[in-house]
Amino acid sequence: MSTTSLKQRRVNFDDPQRERAEYTRSQEIAILGKILMQPSLIGEIKSRLPLEMMTSQITYNLLAAVYGLYDEGRQPSIEGVLSRMPGGADAEIEPGVTQRTWMVSLIGRSKDYLFMPWLDVLETLLDVRTRDMLQAIGSNLSAGSQGQISTLELIQTAVGGLDTASTFIRPRGRLTYTVGGAASALLERLDRNEALNWPTTGFTDFDTVLGGWPRGQLSIVAGRPGMGKSAFVTSSLLRGVRKSKFVDPDTGELVPQNALMFSLEMNKEQLGARVLCDLAYIRAHPIMVDQVINGKIDTRERERLEDANVKLKDMPVLIDEQPGLTISEIEARSRKHFADLKRKGKRLDVVVVDHIGLIRADFKAGFNRASQLHEITVALMAMAKELDCAVVGLSQLNRGVEGRDNKRPDLSDLRESGNIEENASVVAFLYRPAYYLAKQKHDDHDLENDRLEMLARVENDLEMIVSKNRNGRVGVQTLFCAVGSNAVRDKNFGG
């Protein structure tokens, strides 16, 4: 049997379907031939070429066998590969051609593959197959628009397909190194006196525990309603941008960190009121968020809000507000913002999702909410690695905390919300003692006085309970929080 010519040529998308299929198959055969001649390339090719890209059964089966042997640390010999292929060596691909004779013929053309520009062939194959997927998505949209499928389901299916297609062409960023190499890289960074390039949380007290939001990792900030999750995260973003520690390698100047926030709960007006009250905050004369929303502010307070608004100009924090987003939509929009920043010579530093309980799962996640949350956090963790940014997901704890005397949350409370903690590098809980003290009332005069004294001492305390930290220590760090003004600060910020 003779394999299809491997000569490189430009793809003509006006060719008949058969010619296009034959050309695609020739690319697959070329990659397989290169793998068999140079097994050292298997790892790199495996990281970029998924089995689903193969268009014929024989190329799919052969590549699956090679990948399986590679995963076991074995070289892809003829017998080893054939033993893994369905039907064995003597199974016929077509009349008179067995899997063995096909593979022997492939190897017999070794001279065609030895000096082949395999990377160009791989990129061409990925491009052609991705275009095939895009055409299929377009055809499905066209057919579905005439049927009984809802427009929302059509869009969600298309977004999922586009997300899958993008995974085949986006850079994987795969790294291989020895443990010694990893240790040496760390020591070299220390010798250069370079700090971690993690984005700051915006709070010096919290950064002393975490070192900043871990880049390339998922962090979870969880709490019950009323604990100040939204206040914390909006204040963190604003202060993080203003306290940026990144140095532009070309100018040597400090540059702000770029952030993207998905607001699945708050609308534009609510967010606007929060950030203005935060930036305008003066401890002796706070402006309350509800007063701003209801228009109950005086002239001086309006001036302070105007001054705060000036500070917001050109702040590199993009808000994406839309309820009911799926995880695929969040991934796609994050990649778009990442690409937009990259074209401008900038990087995406932080992505915040408020909150993950409001993310709608894709159809493939099933109907069990715990399983859906697991799939969502796996996707967020993968997105953090892919975009090399910190991803911070807010999570609302269930009512189990309310049923016990000690209402400080711990990891067991989060485990009941779909094993979210497994996929996070950092898990921090928010707890405001004043929230519960304010609800308590005692008939006993002495007990009531004790409660009021305690309430006065902790009125503005926001405990950050770091219960999991893959990168360092755990513990409790107390911040200042004026929840009504959406203002969160370091404990001793000075007013």
Q: What is the CATH number of the domain that holds 76?
A: 1.10.860
The predicted model gives 428-432 an average pLDDT of 91
| pLDDT, tens only, 103-143 | 888 877 766 666 667 777 888 888 888 888 888 888 878 77
Residue 181 pLDDT: 65
Which residue did the predictor score with more confidence, 26 or 394?
Answer: 394
Same domain, 331 and 461: yes
User: What is d(CA 206, CA 468) in angstroms, rounded to the nearest whole number?
Assistant: 14
The predicted model gives 304-323 an average pLDDT of 88
Which residue did the predictor score with more confidence, 382 or 179?
Answer: 382
Nearest to 76 by CA among 117, 119, 45: 45
Pick from 85, 113, 129: which residue ends a domain?
129
Pick from 129, 148, 176: which residue ends a domain?
129
Same domain, 205 and 115: no
Q: Indicate the pLDDT class of residue 192, thresholds 50, 70 and 90.
A: low
Same domain, 123 and 202: no
The predicted model gives 325-353 an average pLDDT of 87
Same domain, 118 and 201: no
Residue 416 pLDDT exceeds 90: no
| Range of weakest confidence among 148-157, 264-273, 297-306, 340-349 | 148-157
Residue 339 pLDDT: 84
* Contact yes or no for 81/63 (Cβ under 8 A): no
Examine residue 301 and state whether it is found in any structural domain, yes or no.
yes
Same domain, 115 and 201: no
Q: Indicate the pLDDT class of residue 390, thresholds 50, 70 and 90.
A: very high
The domain in which residue 85 lies consists of 17-129
| Range of weakest confidence among 131-135, 246-250, 473-477 | 246-250
Based on the structure, what is the number of domains in the chain? 2
* Contact yes or no for 256/315 (Cβ under 8 A): yes
User: What is d(CA 381, CA 422) in angstroms, rounded to the nearest whole number?
Assistant: 10
This prediction's pTM: 0.66
The predicted model gives 3-21 an average pLDDT of 48
Examine residue 137 and state whether it is found in any structural domain, yes or no.
no
Residue 335 pLDDT exceeds 80: yes
Q: For residue 426, give both structure tokens.
A: 């950092």
User: What is d(CA 360, CA 273) in angstroms, rounded to the nearest whole number?
Assistant: 27
User: What is d(CA 1, CA 99) in angstroms, rounded to the nearest whole number?
Assistant: 11
Rounded percentage of the chain residues whose pLDDT exceeds 70: 82
Q: Which sign does the torsion angle of CA 228, 230, 231, 236 carry?
A: positive
Pick from 98, 129, 160: which residue ends a domain?
129
Examine residue 153 and state whether it is found in any structural domain, yes or no.
no
Residue 392 pLDDT: 96
The pLDDT mean for the chain works out to: 81
Which residue did the predictor score with more confidence, 151 or 376?
Answer: 376
Examine residue 180 and state whether it is found in any structural domain, yes or no.
no
CATH number at residue 298: 3.40.50.300
Q: Indicate the pLDDT class of residue 7, thresholds 50, 70 and 90.
A: very low
Same domain, 121 and 201: no
Distances in Å between the Cα of 417 and the Cα atoms of 331, 399, 413 are 22, 11, 7
Rounded percentage of the chain residues whose pLDDT exceeds 90: 13
Which residue did the predictor score with more confidence, 130 or 20?
Answer: 130
Unique residue bearing structure tokens 């532009």: 248
Unique residue bearing structure tokens 């275009």: 131
Same domain, 355 and 485: yes
Examine residue 5 and state whether it is found in any structural domain, yes or no.
no
User: What is d(CA 120, CA 243) in angstroms, rounded to the nearest whole number?
Assistant: 44
Residue 57 pLDDT exceeds 70: yes
Examine residue 11 and state whether it is found in any structural domain, yes or no.
no
Residue 174 pLDDT: 46
| pLDDT, tens only, 340-371 | 888 888 889 999 998 888 888 765 555 667 77
Q: Indicate the pLDDT class of residue 29, thresholds 50, 70 and 90.
A: confident
Q: Please list the active-site residues.
A: 265
Residue 407 pLDDT: 83
The predicted model gives 6-15 an average pLDDT of 39
Residue 298 pLDDT exceeds 80: yes
Q: For residue 223, give both structure tokens.
A: 């709490």
Examine residue 76 and state whether it is found in any structural domain, yes or no.
yes
Same domain, 398 and 297: yes
The predicted model gives 455-484 an average pLDDT of 89
| Range of weakest confidence among 250-254, 303-307, 396-400, 438-442 | 250-254
Residue 349 pLDDT: 92
**Number of residues assigned to the chain:** 495
Q: Which sign does the torsion angle of CA 197, 198, 201, 203 carry?
A: negative
Residue 148 pLDDT exceeds 70: no
Examine residue 479 and state whether it is found in any structural domain, yes or no.
yes
